[in-house]
Amino acid sequence: MKMHVLSRMLCLLSMVAFVAGPLLAQRPVMYSINEAWAFSKAGDAERIVSFPHTWNAVDARDDEPGFYRGEGTYRKQVHIPGSHRGKTVYICFEGANQVATLTVNGREVGVHKGGYARFNFDITDYLHWDRDNDFEIAVTNAHDEAIPPLSADFTFFGGVYRDVYLTVKERLHISPTDMASTGIYVATPQVSETRASVHVTTLLNNGFAREVGATVRHTVYDPAGAVVYRTETDETIAAGAANHVHKAVFELADPALWCTETPQLYAVKTTVTDKATQRPLDEERTTFGLRWYRFSADSGFFLNGRHVKLVGTNRHQDYLGKGNALEDQYHVHDMRLLKAMGGNFIRISHYPQDPLVLDMCDRLGIVASVEIPIVNAVTERQDFLSNSLLMAEELVKQHFNHPALVIWSYMNEVMLRPPYTSTDAAYQSYCAEVNRQALAIERRIRTLDPARYTMIAFHGSMKAYADAGLFDVPMVIGWNLYQGWYSDGFHHLDAFLDQYRVAYPNKPTILSEYGADVDTRIHSFQPERFDFSVEYGDLYHEHYLKTIRTSDFLAGAAIWNLNDFHSEPRNDAVPHINSKGITGLDRKPKNTYHLYKAFLTTEPFVKIASTDWRSRSGAETAPGVSLQPIKVYANSDSVTVYHQGEALATIPIADNVGEIDIPFRQGENRIEVRANGVSDGCIVDFAVVPLRLGSDFTELAVALGSKRHFDERDTRTAWIPERPYAQGGWGYVGGEPYRAKTRFGQLPAAALNILGTDLDPLFQTQRVGIERFKADVPDGRYAVYFYWADLRADAPVEALAYNLGNDAIAEAAGERVFDVVINGVPVLERVDIPRQVGVQRAMVKKCLVDAYDGEGITIMFSPVKGQAILNAIKLLKVN
Ligand code: GCB
Ligand code: CA
């Protein structure tokens, strides 16, 4: 009878709770406050923005050098409901670059330094309940000697570029204030096939002015969702306690292991209740995985006792048109893209990223390394080190529970830009300081997490890192190697690795970066270093992949980079962009993505290279035919290639690559490849450029001083490389291709941002001293377009550290003034490009020309001062 009454009462109580609403809040509440902030910077008018937001999405890509680095302010009225009264309210930032100051209702709450970590503030005492509250966030991305990174090959986009949310908790709660971790740390110090030991540390904050007795319960769910363990203990938490430590240690039998193929995840639900009233206070869900692993200096990486070759990419957190301000789905999509390629490894470079990145690694089975942003150099100051240590602590505490994560990393190419040359007296003490800072960070990380490995990524100089004594500090050596890109010859990679193995045979090693810039609009059948062609990038990766497969000591390799990314000072084929991604800024896969997919996946796979090159052209090689090679990537031994529906040949596939010449004909060419029951096809619109121009002539677009094809996508204009004039055909007479000079040699194209155009590659090459351009076109009216840019740097361009001496040297070539005479008529007199538009700026001149009586078009360039130049030319038959 009594029981009955009690249960009825309970039932009634819970109905009351339901109706009353607030009493229902047994779980902590968390919601984003991203929307509608009034933003202003540098005296600009306020405008409304939402997080994620950066103020540099546009100015990091425009023609003005530099981008805004200074303060920006966000203001908003945040309504705090009355129901939050009596609770603890935190504001949590997933990331703001790089120093953020929060003010609530006119009172400064706190400051956070560092652009890539999560942070939060307890704002309870600053709030007015049931009212609007003034929030102001001041952020600056100004250079700061004390905060890493000092410099780097990526754009330091400023702003609140990740989510911001409020978390509302009961006064006694699981702590979010230990470096903005979740307050729960799950360690798995011993895991085997048969059992796993699990240590769960829970941190509790008591916001009450009295001691509280609480019950802490852990419920452990296996990957199938079944409860496999429960534990509960009572704790007495002192008044006002912060980060009171509660520990639970237990074992799980027959663990379902986390691995890259079957990334099985356990979850622990942690609840805290008031011991006296049994009122629920807080709750947190933590996923974890059970696995063990080791790195060997000779034989690489082992996961759960099984050898796993780690192959994947690095990743930067930006996207076309958005800068670094990406909504969640972009992060998720990137990780899916990596997994779909067959990648089982990511080096999260050069800084911690959105929390979803590691969440996805756990779920998809991608082994990860993550690092703090010490790049290129350190500042020899204690405040730089203390900020680095703070970042290291945030790093470990915020990402501690991810089973995917096996490496903490903390310096990238830190000897690339020492402030002194190695002969300078100060160099020795700089090296000692780098060593001291590295040791301090290493110790801090290993104290916080004795289980994982540590890594430092070196650039290709063994001496520099020996000078700084860094071979002895981290557990794994990462090599960022660019032989064949920043220096000649892919094979120097192999020579370098051999030397390294002899010098340091006992260090586990990862190829932490390697890559080549590719602008997918550029193609070449004579590819060379720094031409930015698709074909050169393909050759580079084909070579590196072979080395990676056959080097057993290499535990893993991470391509530089998953995606093209912003690097404002770069003046490459796509200015302001580092285009070493195997996908574009828009994540469209490049050939190399497919090459790796062919290597890494086991499902039958076949892919034609460069299917995005849909408008091609080429000089006639036999009557009506232009023979051009295509590549195929596959994981079969051979593939059969079809052209216009008919089998052309069955070609062998070696190391996942095959190649065949296609006899392209004018118009639509259908190509298909088949192997192992799968196929890939594409349609190429081909213009055969006849050696003798016939009556069907329509258009000719030629890149001068260049071996490159350029695919002008929007208008499907196929630019072809220059050739010397031959009777009945077309081409140049006289002159030399321009080669940009560097400290060590030459580059095939100028490394200049050509102002006023997006077709930079067309302007970055030129023929110097050209005498004539001739085309034996049929009679008619033609539009002739001259593409010009003066490629001399007017001021010495700042050297890019990563270019390792490949920067073009400013040259003074003297004045260049010339006349242009078309079919005997002086059409353009005294062309003087710097005077007309300035240097490094695109100028396109259009002239209408009528050709009669088989005279064709003859363009004479006659110098008045210096030599004549031409960057590109297009002839279009008008009527
Ligand atoms: C590197 C750096 C990376 C650069 C890359 C490059 O070694 O670690 O930050 O972006 O080279 O492309 O030059
Ligand atoms: Ca440009």
For ligand 1, atom 5, which residue shows the shortest CA distance? Answer: 802
753: CA distance to ligand 2 center in Å?
Answer: 5
13: CA distance to ligand 1 center in Å?
Answer: 63
Q: What is the dihedral of CA 720, 726, 729, 730, to 10 degrees?
A: 40
508: CA distance to ligand 1 center in Å?
Answer: 22
Ligand nearest to the CA of 560: 1
Q: How far apart are CA 782 and CA 785, in angstroms?
A: 10
Residue 371 has pLDDT above 70, yes or no: yes
Q: Is the CB of 116 under 6 A from ligand 1?
A: no
Q: Which atom of ligand 1 is nearest to the CA of 565?
A: 10
The DSSP result for 598-636, as a single string, is HHH--S--EEETTTT--EEEEE-SBTTEEEEEEEEEESS
Q: Is the CB of 413 under 6 A from ligand 1?
A: yes
Q: How far apart are CA 242 and CA 625, in angstroms?
A: 78
Tell which one of 154, 802, 806 to mutate to probe ligand 1, the residue whose CB is within 8 A of the most ligand atoms.
802
**754: burial class by Cβ within 10 Å (0-12, 13-18, 19+)?**
buried
Sequence-ordered list of residues with C-beta below 8 angstroms from that of 782, at least 6 positions apart, any chain: 848, 849, 850, 851, 857, 875, 876, 877, 878
Q: Is the CB of 94 under 6 A from ligand 1?
A: no
Question: Can you give the length of the chain in residues?
Answer: 879
Whether the Cβ atoms of residue 95 and residue 354 lie closer than 8 Å to each other: yes
pLDDT digits 0-9 by tens, 172-215: 999 999 999 999 999 999 999 999 999 999 999 999 999 999 99
Six-digit token string for 785: 């377009």
Six-digit token string for 43: 């005296």
Q: How far apart are CA 441 and CA 443, in angstroms?
A: 5
493: CA distance to ligand 1 center in Å?
Answer: 16
Q: Residue 797: what pLDDT?
A: 45
In b/e form, how buried is each residue of 345-378, taking b as 16+ CB within 10 angstroms? Answer: bbbbbbbbbbbbbbbbbbbbbbbbbbbbbbbbbb
| Residue located via tokens 């302001």 | 576
Q: How far apart are CA 30 and CA 356, in angstroms?
A: 16
For ligand 1, atom 7, which residue shows the shortest CA distance? Answer: 480
Local structure of residue 125 (DSSP, 8 states):
G
| Residue located via tokens 């912003």 | 566
Q: What percent of the chain has pLDDT over 70?
A: 95
Tell which one of 480, 481, 576 to mutate to probe ligand 1, the residue whose CB is within 8 A of the most ligand atoms.
480
Q: Which atom of ligand 1 is nearest to the CA of 413?
A: 8
Residue 817 has pLDDT above 50, yes or no: yes
Q: How far apart are CA 771 and CA 541, in angstroms?
A: 40
For ligand 1, atom 9, which residue shows the shortest CA distance? Answer: 153
Q: Residue 17: what pLDDT?
A: 39
Q: Residue 158: what pLDDT?
A: 98
User: How many Cα atoms within 13 Å fall on the side-chain side of residue 144?
Assistant: 20
Ligand nearest to the CA of 478: 1
Ligand nearest to the CA of 456: 1
pLDDT digits 0-9 by tens, 92-145: 999 999 999 999 999 999 999 999 999 999 999 999 999 999 999 999 999 999
699: CA distance to ligand 2 center in Å?
Answer: 25
The DSSP result for 271-339, as a single string, is EEEETTT--EEEEEEEEE----EEEETTTEEEETTEE--EEEEEE---BTTTBT---HHHHHHHHHHHH
Q: How far apart are CA 229 and CA 606, in angstroms?
A: 47
The DSSP result for 449-515, as a single string, is -SSSEEEEEEES-HHHHHHTTGGGSSSEEEEE--BTTTBS-TTHHHHHHHHHHHH-TTS-EEEEE--
Q: How far apart are CA 611 and CA 93, in angstroms?
A: 42
149: CA distance to ligand 2 center in Å?
Answer: 27
Local structure of residue 162 (DSSP, 8 states):
S
For ligand 1, atom 6, which residue shows the shortest CA distance? Answer: 802
**Distances, alpha carbon 123 to alpha carbons 78, 79, 94, 109, 241, in Å:** 12, 13, 16, 7, 17
Q: Residue 791: what pLDDT?
A: 92
459: CA distance to ligand 1 center in Å?
Answer: 9
Other C-beta atoms closer than 10 Å to the C-beta of 207 total: 19
Q: Which atom of ligand 1 is nearest to the CA of 567?
A: 10
pLDDT digits 0-9 by tens, 847-872: 999 999 999 999 999 999 999 999 99
Ligand nearest to the CA of 574: 2
Q: Strand order in 717-721's β-sheet?
A: 522-524, 708-712, 717-721, 699-703, 872-877, 780-788, 843-851
Name which residue leads in pLDDT, 801 or 169.
169
Other C-beta atoms closer than 10 Å to the C-beta of 470 total: 22
513: CA distance to ligand 1 center in Å?
Answer: 8
- Phi, psi for residue 495 in degrees, rounded to 5: -65, -40
pLDDT digits 0-9 by tens, 658-698: 999 999 999 999 999 999 999 999 999 999 988 889 889 99
153: CA distance to ligand 1 center in Å?
Answer: 6
**Distances, alpha carbon 112 to alpha carbons 101, 147, 483, 581, 695, in Å:** 7, 11, 40, 32, 71
Q: How far apart are CA 779 and CA 855, in angstroms?
A: 7
Q: How far apart are CA 115 and CA 391, in angstroms?
A: 10
Ligand nearest to the CA of 842: 2
In this structure, are strands 367-371 and 405-412 parallel, antiparallel, or unpaired? Answer: parallel
**Distances, alpha carbon 492 to alpha carbons 18, 455, 516, in Å:** 71, 24, 15
Q: Is the CB of 513 under 6 A from ligand 1?
A: yes
Q: Residue 692: what pLDDT?
A: 87
9 — pLDDT class (breaks 50, 70, 90):
very low
**865: burial class by Cβ within 10 Å (0-12, 13-18, 19+)?**
exposed
Q: Residue 519: what pLDDT?
A: 98
6 — pLDDT class (breaks 50, 70, 90):
very low
The continuous run of DSSP H or E covering 38 comes out as: strand 37-41
